[in-house]
């Protein structure tokens, strides 16, 4: 029995979710239309729509015009991961943050970096390597290339005070980007900088960002053993 009058979209979502998890509506099955549900719940269609959109974004149902809404056969759950400034993440854990600039020079990109940024190998980029420390222990080794043509004033920025990670986030908003997570055995230089044994498993984050069609920066973050990325689903 459904209590009549579910007037908040969250209540509607909860009821829809109940019917899905309890198999009132089976996987692959078609769900009644928005108008019908709105009528049943005693609310406006927009309210049902809001709830349904949320479930669709979460990957529980599949919606298509004309074809209606179906319970997904293979629920593709989506996890959202926040990507904060490293300093803030460290401080949130109650640790002392420090940043150490290792190297900073203008040089032509490697082939891999050039292709990733879709740039010519001739134009020099700003190459910055640095270390992020938590309570004086190395946490992340950052290897970054920045396109000076896209970031005004970056050539005047010494990166001695704030890391390129933080400086860029604050000074150069991007429109879109790519991020990849993987695992790699520590390379020679990395293990030394991070103070871990050669070959230790490192969590690798690779990020490339753009503003419109202009490449901004690409970075490879090697995280010390123990690093975990968490999310709710």
Partner DNA sequence: AAGTGGTCTAGACCACTCC
Partner DNA sequence: GAGTGGTCTAGACCACTTA
- Assigned token pair, 57: 């974004």
CA–CA separation, 98 and 9 (whole Å): 45
Query: Residue 22 half-sphere exposure, CB side, CA atoms within 13 Å?
Result: 7
Residues from 34 through 53 that contact a copy of itself (CB under 8 A): none
Please identify which residue in 14, 44, 88, 112 interacts with DNA, judged by CB under 7 A. 44
Select the binding partner of residue 8 from a copy of itself, DNA, none (C-beta < 5 to 8 A, by kind): DNA
Q: How far is the CB of 93 from DNA (least distance, A)?
A: 25
Please identify which residue in 67, 76, 122, 188 interacts with DNA, judged by CB under 7 A. 67
Total chain residues near a copy of itself (CB under 8 A): 54
Query: Under the criterion CB under 7 A, does residue 183 sit at the interface with DNA?
Result: no
Please identify which residue in 15, 16, 20, 31 interacts with DNA, judged by CB under 7 A. 31
Please identify which residue in 203, 215, 218, 219 interacts with a copy of itself, judged by CB under 8 A. 203
How many CB atoms are located within 10 Å of the residue 14 CB? Answer: 13
Select 108 or 206, whichever has its Cβ closest to a copy of itself: 206
Query: Under the criterion CB under 8 A, does residue 162 sit at the interface with a copy of itself?
Result: no
Q: How far is the CB of 65 from DNA (least distance, A)?
A: 4
Which whole-number Å values give the CA distances from 16 to 71, 86, 106, 138, in the listed order? 10, 39, 57, 47
CA–CA separation, 88 and 132 (whole Å): 11
Please identify which residue in 1, 3, 4, 65 interacts with DNA, judged by CB under 7 A. 65
- Assigned token pair, 148: 């000076």
207-216 in b/e form (b: 16+ CB < 10 A) is bbbbbeeebb
Query: Under the criterion CB under 8 A, does residue 189 sit at the interface with a copy of itself?
Result: no
β 61-64/68-71 pair status:
antiparallel
Strand partners, 45: none
Cβ neighbours of residue 65 under 8 Å, at least 6 residues apart?
A: none
**80 and 70 Cβ atoms separated by less than 8 Å:** no
Query: Under the criterion CB under 8 A, does residue 9 sit at the interface with a copy of itself?
Result: no
Query: Under the criterion CB under 8 A, does residue 176 sit at the interface with a copy of itself?
Result: yes
Q: How far is the CB of 123 from a copy of itself (least distance, A)?
A: 23
**200 and 186 Cβ atoms separated by less than 8 Å:** yes
Q: How far is the CB of 177 from a copy of itself (least distance, A)?
A: 5
How many CB atoms are located within 10 Å of the residue 141 CB? Answer: 24
Q: How far is the CB of 59 from DNA (least distance, A)?
A: 14
Residues that bind a copy of itself (CB under 8 A): 17, 20-21, 27, 59-60, 73-85, 88, 169-170, 173-185, 199-204, 207, 209, 211, 223, 225-233
């Amino acid at each position: 029995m459904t209590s009549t009058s579910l007037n908040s979209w969250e209540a509607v979502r909860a009821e829809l979710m109940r019917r899905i998890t309890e198999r009132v509506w089976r996987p692959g099955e078609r769900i009644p239309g928005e108008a019908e549900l709105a009528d049943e719940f005693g609310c406006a269609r927009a309210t049902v729509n809001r709830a349904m959109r949320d479930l669709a974004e979460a990957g529980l149902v599949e919606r298509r015009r004309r074809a209606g809404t179906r319970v997904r056969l293979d629920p593709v759950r989506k996890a959202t991961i926040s990507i904060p400034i490293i300093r803030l993440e460290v401080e949130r854990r109650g640790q002392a943050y420090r940043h150490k600039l290792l190297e900073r020079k203008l040089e032509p990109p490697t082939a891999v970096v050039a292709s990733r940024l879709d740039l010519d190998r001739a134009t020099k980029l700003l190459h910055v390597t640095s270390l992020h420390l938590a309570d004086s222990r190395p946490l992340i080794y950052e290897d970054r290339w920045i396109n000076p043509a896209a970031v005004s004033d970056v050539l005047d920025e010494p990166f001695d005070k704030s890391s390129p990670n933080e400086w860029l986030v604050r000074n150069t908003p991007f429109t879109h980007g790519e991020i990849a997570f993987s695992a790699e055995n520590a390379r020679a230089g990395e293990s030394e900088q991070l103070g871990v044994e050669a070959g230790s498993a490192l969590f690798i984050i690779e990020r490339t960002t753009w503003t419109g069609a202009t490449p901004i920066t690409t970075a490879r973050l090697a995280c010390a053993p123990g690093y975990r990325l968490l999310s709710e689903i």
